[in-house]
Amino acid sequence: MTTSDSASSTSSAAGPAGPRPEGPDEQDLEQHFDATIARDQRIEPRDWMPDGYRRTLIRQIAQHAHSEIIGMQPEGEWIMKAPSLRRKAILFAKVQDEAGHGLYLYSAAETLGADRADLTQRLIEGRQKYSSIFNYPTLSFADVGVIGWFVDGAAICNQVPLCRSSYGPYARAMVRICKEESFHQRQGYELLMTMMRGTDAQREMVQDAVDRWWWPSLMMFGPPDDASPNSAQSMAWKIKRHSNDELRQRFVDMTVPQAEKLGVTLPDPELRWNAERGHHDFGTPDWSELQRVISGDGPCNAQRMERRRTAHEEGAWVREAASAYAAKQAKQSERARKGAAA
């Protein structure tokens, strides 16, 4: 072992690889960085990197981490209401995974010099965003299945290319996450298959959930390419590997045959196979809705933020108690050591 990822984010001598004073070799460093990217090699925490690259990554990774953490809420609501012990255990494991994903990502952000408590604070104060999709309500148990199928499916489309992202710790976190997302998507689809084999009322629940989640799921890929100003730079830095529209297309192409197999209708009259393109044509999401939800005016924004804030505040005494206990133990073992030495 030679070096540690997040060791660079501590205040020790190995301190953050922050911006160096502008000097004659700034240009050399930039060339070295560009060459590393061009060779398709990974940038690691202690490497020199342009400020913009660092800022972009911290923003993207933090936003991603926040999404995983807030993403625990819509499904978490159904843990106590799951219809069987099997479904409850599965849902529990899935929601726990989402927490895990958030923590992998916070860990990656910290290798860039971000501070965990500060990131949490930024989320709670609404200064950093999370994915728009988690601001929609989960009205029935079918929503749990559709979230696994659509939302985790869309996440897989987004995240598989991120496993080759140019920033090492981010790419490695994504590898770990992608392995687990597959379980998430499959449990959702299986849940829906089970409901589709049930009663008419259950089939209606599934179709209703599909109708409500389809368009918000397409919006998860972000605004269309011509309205996504930061994308080009992110692609040049190989943080991102595909454009929003490419990934959205991939998701539609992947989902259509799954919907047919399941026996549900995707709520888009313009959806049809285009043999010439070799892709499905589809309608345009309501981008003004995405804007509204992102800017805080979605159906559940206030509720999600309030829940996160409350959890943080109500957990404060636990964090403090653990710190106090650790300090006491450290003092006692120090005393014991001194006693033994005397």
Partner 1 sequence: MSDTVKGDWPLYEVFVRGKRGLNHVHVGSLHAADDRMALTHARDLYTRRNEGVSIWVVRSEHIAASTRDEKDPFFAPSADKVYRHPTFYDIPDDVPHI
Q: Which residues bind partner 1 (CB under 8 A)?
A: 1-14, 17, 28-29, 32-33, 44, 46-48, 93, 96-97, 100, 103-104, 107-108, 110-111, 115-118, 121, 169, 172-173, 176, 180, 316, 319-320, 322-323, 325-326, 329-330
User: First and final CA of the chain: distance in angstroms?
Assistant: 36
Structure tokens that stand for 185 in this block: 């998507």
Instruction: Report the alpha-carbon distance of residue 147 to residue 78 in Å, rounded.
Output: 12
Residue 134: closest CA among 154, 110, 108, 114 = 154
274 and 111 Cβ atoms separated by less than 8 Å: no
Identify the CA nearest to 178 among candidates 155, 194, 197, 200: 155
When the beta carbons of 303 and 310 are compared against partner 1, the nearer one is 310
Least spacing, CB of residue 304 vs partner 1, in Å: 22
Secondary-structure percent of the chain, ordered helix, strand, coil, rounded to 5: 70, 0, 30
Q: How far is the CB of 220 from partner 1 (least distance, A)?
A: 25
Residue indicated by tokens 């290319």 = 161
Contact indicator for 308, 300 with CB cutoff of 8 Å: no
Residue 18 falls in which region: left (phi positive, over 0), alpha (psi -120 to 50) or beta: beta
**Of the two residues 16 and 161, which places its CB atom closer to partner 1 in the complex?**
16
Please state the closest distance from residue 240 (CB atom) to partner 1, in A.
22
Among candidates 71, 64, 36, which has minimal Cα distance to 50? 36
Residue 43 dihedral angles phi and psi, to the nearest 5°:
-90, 135
Nearer to partner 1, 139 or 327 (CB): 327
As measured in angstroms, the least distance from the Cβ of 71 to partner 1 is 17
In this complex, which beta carbon is closest to partner 1, that of residue 61 or of residue 247?
Answer: 61
We find the least distance from the C-beta atom of residue 1 to partner 1, in angstroms, to be 7
Phi, psi values for residue 223, rounded to 5°: -60, 160
Instruction: Kindly tell me which of 213 and 237 has the beta carbon lying closer to partner 1.
Output: 237
As measured in angstroms, the least distance from the Cβ of 70 to partner 1 is: 18
* CB hemisphere CA count around 231 (13 angstroms): 16
Q: Which lies closer to partner 1 via its Cβ, residue 29 or residue 256? A: 29
Q: Of 203 and 312, which CB lies nearer to partner 1 in the complex structure?
A: 312
Q: How far is the CB of 67 from partner 1 (least distance, A)?
A: 18
